[in-house]
Amino acid sequence: MILPIIIYGKSILNNSILRKKCVNISNSFPKLNLLISNMFDTMYNVKGIGLAAPQIGKNIKLFIVDMLYVLKHNQLSYSNYNNYKKVFINAKIIKSFGKTVVFKEGCLSIPNIIELVKRKSHILIRYYDEYWNIHTEILNGLQARIVQHEYDHIDGKLFIDRLSTFKKKNIYKKLFI
């Protein structure tokens, strides 16, 4: 089932959920598998590569990624990116490291805005998958960038928070006026 995506700037209520730090969930969270399935349906419907629970109005530490769309539409064929489809529950970035890399980012909750964002090239992350197996992994490149973007959502942050004051002011004018 396709769920509505919360758009930043449309109402104070919507902005509030996107700005809250999310809470951990347990393996008894009701209908979690259905929620995850619906999140993938929603993300695919808008041709996204990641979606976090706050973007659909849930204040929980859950996000999903699937790089297939970006690979297919950008003709990338990095073998380590193929089939990079994951569910992240109660994720915690333990460490960000490596070079600072600038790359274009957009967001399903902030449509039609694409900006250059600085992020570290590598992260060490710990999370549960949809089967409640715990993972600790080092991610790099595009995987690290996408996961950092989605992780920001469960921490109450948006990619526009990482921009200069000047760029933020211009974006806020577009979003709120």
Backbone angles phi, psi at 102, to 5 degrees: -105, 130
The whole-angstrom separation of Cα 46 and Cα 72 is 15
Residue 150: active-site member: yes
- Catalytic option among 105, 130, 137, 150: 150
- The answer to whether residues 87 and 64 touch, using CB atoms and an 8 Å cutoff, is yes
Q: Which residues pair with 137 in a beta bridge?
A: 125
Which residues does the annotation mark as catalytic?
Answer: 150
